[in-house]
Every structure is written in structure tokens, then in C-alpha cells.
């Protein structure tokens, strides 16, 4: 993943979205299950018995089934939006398989974000830094800016869904478009940015409607 151009170049010869998706699902489940000790601790702080079979089954269902399903559904939605954006940009020759391959490769950022959260929780639990017992990890604009943590609901929602890993996701989408569809970087960047812009608006709208 440190050489995304090479990864996308190999996919350009023959997109394999199902194989990439399967690999991403495996990584998602593995990284999600690694969160189990911290979720059990959070459940205990909430007054639940972390060792009860009911809590165990609920955690397993959430981490091994719901999380990967949510990830795949989200990335398929992004792939559909990217495909639509390419068509609107005049690239009707770009098929959905290509867009799905690009999005699934870029989806590694989902796993990396979870890995970052795991490292932060481990540091807190070990007492190296941070507050033990705090199981909330921020990766967005709410880290350096207080306004994005306690400001207007719209800004709080934007900060939640726009951070380092989201920017990395958009960058990977742009690189994938350049390598797999041979568009100029400027066009690729605009297409990738517009795609995630629509996603961001939708996520913020859902947050505001469910408050």
C-alpha cells in the first residue's frame, strides 16, 4: 500500500473487484475482532457483564458480521457514485468493475483507521499516554480544533467524517483513476473530490436527521 500506483497498474490489466473485496473483508474482520478487549472493557464501564454469553454474541455479531457488511455496502455506494461521476465527466467507457476495484483498493484506509484506533487504545490502556478508560478515538478535524468538537452540529458532523484517513481515501481514488482510466490528475482529483463530497453531504445529513 506504500506504492498505490503499482497496485492500481496491476489492476488496470484486469480489474478483480471480487478478489479485492474478499481480501478487504478478511482484513476488516481481523482488525475489528482485535477491538474485542476494549469493547468488553467499555461494556463493563456501561454496567454490563463483559463475560456474559449475550454480550459476547452481540460483540461477535457486530465485529464479524455487521462491521464488514457496513464497510462493503459503503464502498459499493462510493463505487456507484464514482462511476456516475466518471460518466458525467464524459468517461462513459469506464465500467463499474473498474470503479469498484479502485474503491476497494482505496478502502484499505478503513482498516488503517481501525489500526490507528487500536494503537491509541493500547497506549492508553498501557498507561503510556492519554486517559485510561477513554475509548473514544478521534481521527478528524476535531483533533486540533475545539470548534469542531463542541461547535454547531454541522461542523461537528463534518469533522467526524473528514479527517486524515478520508483525505487519504480521496487521494487513493484519484491515483486509481489516473492509473486505471488514464485521465489527467486534475480531472481525477476533481472526480474523486466530487464523489466524496456527495458522500460527505449524505453522511452529515444522516447525522443531523438522527440527532
Q: Give pLDDT tens digits along the chain (211 positions).
A: 457 878 888 887 788 899 999 999 999 999 999 988 888 887 888 788 878 888 889 989 999 999 999 999 999 999 999 999 999 988 888 899 999 999 999 999 999 988 888 888 888 776 655 555 556 676 766 555 555 666 788 888 888 888 889 999 999 999 999 999 988 999 999 999 999 999 999 999 998 898 7
pLDDT, residue 100, reads: 95
Inter-residue contact 191 to 82 (CB < 8 Å):
yes
Dist. CA 16–CA 101, nearest whole Å: 6
Inter-residue contact 147 to 155 (CB < 8 Å):
yes
Dist. CA 165–CA 115, nearest whole Å: 11
Here the cell at position 26 is: 478478511
DSSP 92: T
Domain that includes residue 75, residue range: 4-209
Here the cell at position 100 is: 469498484
Number of domains into which the chain is organized: 1
Instruction: Look at the pTM and tell me if it is higher than 0.75.
Output: yes
Dist. CA 150–CA 114, nearest whole Å: 24
Inter-residue contact 109 to 168 (CB < 8 Å):
yes
**Residue 151: strand, helix, or coil:** coil
pLDDT, residue 44, reads: 82
pLDDT, residue 1, reads: 46
Amino acid at each position: 500500500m506504500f506504492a498505490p500506483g503499482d497496485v492500481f497498474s496491476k489492476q488496470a490489466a484486469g480489474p478483480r473487484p471480487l478478489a479485492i473485496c474478499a481480501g478487504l473483508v478478511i482484513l476488516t474482520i481481523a482488525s475489528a475482532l482485535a477491538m474485542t478487549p476494549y469493547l468488553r472493557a467499555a461494556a463493563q464501564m456501561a454496567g454490563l457483564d463483559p463475560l456474559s454469553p449475550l454480550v459476547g454474541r452481540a460483540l461477535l455479531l457486530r465485529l464479524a458480521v455487521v462491521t464488514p457488511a457496513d464497510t462493503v455496502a459503503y464502498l459499493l455506494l462510493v463505487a456507484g457514485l464514482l462511476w456516475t461521476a466518471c460518466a458525467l465527466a464524459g468517461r462513459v467507457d469506464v465500467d463499474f468493475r473498474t470503479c469498484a476495484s479502485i474503491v476497494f483498493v482505496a478502502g484499505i484506509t478503513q482498516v488503517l483507521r481501525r489500526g490507528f484506533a487500536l494503537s491509541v487504545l493500547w497506549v492508553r490502556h498501557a498507561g503510556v499516554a492519554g486517559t485510561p478508560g477513554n475509548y473514544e478515538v478521534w481521527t478528524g478535524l476535531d483533533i486540533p480544533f475545539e470548534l469542531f468538537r463542541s461547535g454547531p452540529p454541522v461542523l461537528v458532523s463534518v469533522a467526524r467524517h473528514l479527517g486524515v484517513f478520508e483525505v487519504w481515501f480521496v487521494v487513493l481514488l484519484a491515483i486509481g483513476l489516473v492509473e486505471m482510466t488514464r485521465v489527467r490528475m486534475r480531472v481525477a482529483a476533481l472526480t474523486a473530490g466530487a464523489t466524496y463530497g456527495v458522500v460527505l453531504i449524505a453522511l452529515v445529513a444522516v447525522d443531523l436527521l438522527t440527532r
